[in-house]
Chains A and B, each alone.
Chain A
Amino acid sequence: DGGITQSPKYLFRKEGQNVTLSCEQNLNHDAMYWYRQDPGQGLRLIYYSQIVNDFQKGDIAEGYSVSREKKESFPLTVTSAQKNPTAFYLCASSSTGRYGEKLFFGSGTQLSVL
């Protein structure tokens, strides 16, 4: 079955540590996205990518980094510069990234600080 796979489901970060969240899709979609979800807030866009080797900052990119070396993969690194990383992280994809397209979401990664 086609879909988006996020791993791990739960992740714990120590002070000063960088952690990487994995996102893989087999939908053959060009566009991929990372959103952050906090209780009582709407999903907020961190980064997005429309093609391989290219990505753009979203609304809350500070303290995060991404790469897009392969079409099917879009990992997110939460760096030590992100002072409030505890949140539910969602990866999504869409066919081309043009307007009006629905997003397909993964099942999320819950990141917590030790």
Chain B
Amino acid sequence: EDQVTQSPEALRLQEGESSSLNCSYTVSGLRGLFWYRQDPGKGPEFLFTLYSAGEEKEKERLKATLTKKESFLHITAPKPEDSATYLCAVQGNILTGGGNKLTFGTGTQLKVEL
């Protein structure tokens, strides 16, 4: 069974204070690792997909990296508008007949203060 563990559960940063969020996973045959951002009361918004160990992707102040066991979401010089819950998800074995089943972690709730 695919599993995703995110840490820390919550993180409070000062504006400009860089840090990293962790996503540890176990999966039978990784098809993709996804990062989403979720604001309170809203649906998740796609950030990145990583497919193989060593891959990195960047978007503004965010950079996602992937190893064979974990992924990191690095936040450089965060701003208050980066405050949100960040979700990690993996896609492993394809279900019979196809399908895009994702296994989600519980998320890291990030708060960036002035």
A and B together in one complex: yes
Binding site for B on A (CB under 8 A): 4, 6, 31, 33, 40-45, 48, 50, 56, 58, 90, 92, 94, 97-108, 110
Contact between B42 and A42, CB atoms less than 8 A apart:
no
Contact between B4 and A103, CB atoms less than 8 A apart:
no
- With the chains together, A94 CA to B44 CA distance in Å? 14
Contact between B100 and A97, CB atoms less than 8 A apart:
yes
Contact between B42 and A97, CB atoms less than 8 A apart:
no
Contact size range, B: 20 to 34
Contact between B101 and A58, CB atoms less than 8 A apart:
yes
- Contact A45-B101, Cβ < 8 Å, known A56-B95, A100-B51: yes
Q: How far does the Cβ of B74 sit from chain A's closest Cβ, in whole Å?
A: 20
Contact between B104 and A42, CB atoms less than 8 A apart:
yes
Contact between B99 and A102, CB atoms less than 8 A apart:
no
Q: How far does the Cβ of A7 sit from chain B's closest Cβ, in whole Å?
A: 13
Contact between A48 and B101, CB atoms less than 8 A apart:
yes
Q: Across the interface, which residues of B come within 8 angstroms of A107, CB to CB?
A: 41-43
Q: Across the interface, which residues of A come within 8 angstroms of B94, CB to CB?
A: 99
Q: How far does the Cβ of B16 sit from chain A's closest Cβ, in whole Å?
A: 30
Binding site for A on B (CB under 8 A): 4, 31-32, 34, 36, 41-46, 49, 51, 87, 89, 91, 94-95, 97-107
- With the chains together, A108 CA to B49 CA distance in Å? 22
Q: Across the interface, which residues of B come within 8 angstroms of A33, CB to CB?
A: 100
Say which residue of A56, A94, A106, A108 sits within 8 Å of B97 (CB atoms): A56
Contact between A100 and B49, CB atoms less than 8 A apart:
yes
Q: Across the interface, which residues of B come within 8 angstroms of A103, CB to CB?
A: 34, 44, 46, 100, 102
- With the chains together, A102 CA to B107 CA distance in Å? 17
Q: How far does the Cβ of A90 sit from chain B's closest Cβ, in whole Å?
A: 5
Contact between B100 and A31, CB atoms less than 8 A apart:
yes
**Chain A, residue nearest B45 (CB):** A105
Say which residue of A31, A42, A48, A108 sits within 8 Å of B103 (CB atoms): A42
- With the chains together, A55 CA to B32 CA distance in Å? 23
Q: How far does the Cβ of B4 sit from chain A's closest Cβ, in whole Å?
A: 7
